[in-house]
Each structure stands twice: as structure tokens, then as C-alpha cells.
Amino acid sequence: MATVALVGTQWGDEGKGKVIDILAAGADMVVRAQGGNNAGHTVVSGGETYKLRLVPSGILYPNCDCIIAGGVVIDPKALLAELADVTKKGVKIDRLHIDERAHVILPYHLMLDALSEKARGGKDIGTTGRGIGPCYTDRAERSGIRMYDFIHPDIFKAKLFDRVAVKNKIITSVYGGEALDAQAIFDEYKAYAELLKQYVCDTSVLVYEAVKGGKSVLLEGAQGTLLDLSYGTYPYVTSSHPISGGFCIGAGIGPTAIDECIGIAKAYTTRVGKGPFPTELDDEIGETIRRVGAEFGTVTGRPRRCGWLDCVILRYAVRVNGLTSIALNKLDTLSGLKELKVCVAYKTSKKLTEHFPADIDELADCKPVYETLAGFDKDISGIKKYEDLPENAKKYIEYIEKQIGCRISMIGVGPDRNQCIYR
Ligand code: GDP
Ligand code: IMO
Ligand code: MG
């Protein structure tokens, strides 16, 4: 069996959770390698909806090992709440493993996320407020607290008191916020550490052995290509590496371990948070897509900004992730629209380009160049075979493939596990 990576190709929320859950039926292991509980992955199965944030979307299968690898940032309180939630729904969590290297999100990260956003004024990023950026900042600055430290009370206490003293200076002097009480944090969080300790180990060994042993391993991306710290729409990005290269660092595997890379895309484009969005629709069509597609954030409930499909973005995602195929979700949402526009290039004040720009001001200057295709009207949510799709839906799919130079191998026609067409 193979090691397959799944990555978001747009600004997140492409339906990664659903596709991982579908593929996890035949997998031995699912690995989350970056991000934290800023992610919200929805899995719908047997009439039950699961909103997973940190727990890998393979958790619904009792024989699947679920790994939260070293590149993830973990809010222990949020993770325990999520574990309690899935357990309540009858899901077994005994095959969960958490890496010793994963960094811990602590109350000062949450506070600094809120304070720094406020201080940015109108130039805020629109973060999820989960402390993700400040925690990765500490990791890069080499002052983070890792799971290994966290589950050893003496180490945790010493590091925590040390960090809180420094953070309090920043919180009070730079931002005018309220100082935190290190002892109170320690008393609360040492109880969380005690509960999580049983899952903590060196998961890079488990992943290596699974790959080497020919097991089927799925690497579950969070966020999306355009939220990547280096390749996304900087500074309107997250603080980790959602692109496929991020799996190597996040899970502790070499690039040769990855056999396939599937990009997850929506049949249109959405984004939550701020930043330029060339194909955004500020009109009735955008409103219709939001309503029909229920485009509201899984984590924060914010309305997602909606727009036409952007092939400049997908072409870029094919390139920077080395995609071998694409799963295109939510085709059903477009049913009923008279025309379907597809962005094939950008026009700036200086040039016409098919490549996604690196600079945010250049992106803000980009006007989409559209190709207009005829829409389809039929309810496609029950269709199982590609041949049975309306002609115009097939033309849409095949047009996109030609534009981006990548095969679309799965088509989502509804949120449930079985609402998927394989090609
Ligand atoms: P993720 O973060 O990439 O896992 O995506 P989210 O779960 O945040 O958002 C995707 C939303 O679309 C969820 O509510 C899914 O249940 C839903 N969804 C996924 N695939 C499809 C599809 O093909 N059709 C429809 N209508 N909904 C889908
Ligand atoms: P999934 O895995 C969509 C966005 C936030 C904000 C930016 C930075 O469900 O696709 P952060 O809290 O990470 O510092 O916020 O990134 N963002 C997401 N948008 N889906 C996600 O995850 C996201 N995770 C972060 O809205 O614009
Ligand atoms: Mg999501």
C-alpha cells in the first residue's frame, strides 16, 4: 500500500475531512502533521456529523492508528474537549498517538493572538484566535514548551514560570493587557497533562515503521496552499506549512516516503479571514453559493467569503504541492446557476499572467480573466457514476482539468461519505 498526502489547494475548508474519512476506510494510519485547532474538518457518517479540529479524520475507523505528529501545535484543553466529544458519540480513541515534539498552546498564546490582532487595527489577519501564530512564534524563537516538557511536571513548571514572566512583560508593557498567573496556569494544565500523558510518544518512529512496513498511510493536510506561511497570501496566512512539503518536517518523514499527493479543491472558491481574493463575489450569486453550500466557518462560525473557481490558484497548487490528482468537492452546490465562470488568468495594471503572484499588493491588483461555461440544473447529490452527471457538469470538470493540467479523480456531490463519484 502507499503513503498518500492530502492537501488543501485553496484557502482551507475544501472538504479535506470528508475525503480523508473516505480514504481512511482502507488505511492503517492517518497523520496530522501541522496546524492546530484552527482547523475544522467535517465528517458526516451515518447521520452523525463530527467536527474534528486536532484529532485526525481517521478516528472513526477502529483499526486506524491516528497520529498527531510533531509539527502540530496542541491546545490541551481543546484536545481533551474534542476527545470527550467524540467518545460521547461512541468513537474509540485508544489508537491515538501524540508526538513528544508537538508544541503546547498555553493561555498566553491565546491572549497574545487576541492582543496582537487588536493592535493591528484595520490590518488584522482575521485569525481563528486559537493561539496558533504565537505558539509557532515561540517554536521558531526556541522558547516553546513541547509535549515532552508538558507531561513532566517539574520540567513543565520551570519552563512555564520562566515563559510567563517574559510574556507578562509583553502583555502588560506592549499591549496594556492583564498579567497572567503562572501558578494558576500550572495547577490547571498539569491536570490536562496527566490525562494526555498516556498518548504521548515518538510518533516519527510509528510513522516510519508503518511506511517501511508497506502499510497504507494517509497524511491529513490542514488549512490550504494559500494559507501556507511561505507560499500563501502572506501576511494573510497561518503560521505553519500546509503544502505537501510540510508533511516531511511535520511528520518526520523523508520526501521519498510520499507516493501520491491528492489536492482537495472546492468547485468554487471560499476564504475566511482577511486578504485579497480576486474571484470574490459581492453579489447575489456569492450569497446564493454561501447559502446553498452552507459556507460558514467550522471553527468560528464566520460567514465564508465566496467566489468563482480560480484556475490560477489550482494551477499554483498543482505546482507547489506536486499534485498527482485532485478531489473536487461541492459540485452539487453549483447546481441551478445559469452560468459558471472560471478564472483562467489574471490581468494586472502591468501584465496578463497565468501564475499566482508572490506579492500581496500585486494580488490585490489582479483582475480575474473569466471563461464562461453553461451551468446545470439537475439535483446531482444522488449520482454515483460520472457518466450520469449532466453534460454541462462534465464539461465543467473537463475544462478545469485542461486548464490546470491535473486529473480530477474524485467528485464530491454531498457532505456524506457515500456522496462521491470516482473516476
Ligand atoms: P475541511 O476543513 O477541508 O475539512 O472542510 P470543512 O469541513 O471545514 O468544510 C467543508 C464543508 O463542506 C463541510 O461542511 C462538509 O460537510 C461539506 N462538504 C464536503 N464535501 C461536500 C460536497 O461534495 N458537497 C456538499 N454539499 N458539501 C460538502
Ligand atoms: P481547515 O483545516 C480556513 C485562516 C484564518 C485566518 C488565517 C490565520 O479547516 O481548512 P490562524 O488562526 O491560523 O493564525 O489564522 O488562516 N485559517 C483557516 N481558514 N480553514 C482552516 O483550516 C483555517 N485555519 C486557519 O481564518 O485567515
Ligand atoms: Mg475546515
CA-to-CA dists, residue 420 to 380, 384, 390, 417, angstroms: 11, 7, 15, 7
Tell which residue, 36, 40, 208, has the closest CA to residue 131.
36
Measure 7 CA to ligand 2 centroid, in angstroms: 14
The active-site residue, picked from 21, 28, 41, 138, is 41
379 pLDDT higher than 80:
yes
3-state secondary structure 259-326: CEEEEEEECCEEECCCCCCCCECCCHHHHHHHHHCCCECCCCCCECEEECEEHHHHHHHHHHHCCCEE
Q: Report pLDDT for 41.
A: 96
- At position 7, the amino acid (one-letter code) is V
Q: Report pLDDT for 1.
A: 62
Pocket of ligand 2 (CB under 6 A): 8, 11-13, 38-41, 125-128, 130, 132-133, 222-224, 227, 236, 238-239, 272-273, 298
List pLDDT tens digits, range 15-37: 999 999 999 999 999 999 999 99
Please tell me the number of the ligand nearest to residue 120's CA.
Answer: 2
CA-to-CA dists, residue 104 to 36, 101, 150, 230, 401, angstroms: 10, 9, 8, 23, 41
227 pLDDT higher than 90:
yes
List pLDDT tens digits, range 84-106: 999 999 999 999 999 999 999 99
- At position 356, the amino acid (one-letter code) is F
Measure 127 CA to ligand 2 centroid, in angstroms: 7
Annotation marks residue 103 as catalytic:
no
Cβ-Cβ contacts under 8 Å for 210 (sequence gap 6 or more): 28, 29, 65, 217
Q: Report pLDDT for 300.
A: 80
Q: Report pLDDT for 188.
A: 98
Query: Ligand 1: which of 220, 329, 333, 408 to mutate, judged by most atoms within 8 Å of the beta carbon?
Result: 329
369 pLDDT higher than 70:
yes
Annotation marks residue 310 as catalytic:
no
List pLDDT tens digits, range 122-164: 999 999 999 999 999 999 999 999 999 999 999 999 999 999 9
Query: Ligand 2: which of 227, 240, 302 to mutate, judged by most atoms within 8 Å of the beta carbon?
Result: 227
Mean pLDDT estimate for the chain: 97
Is pTM beyond 0.95 here? yes
Which one-letter DSSP state was computed for residue 179? P
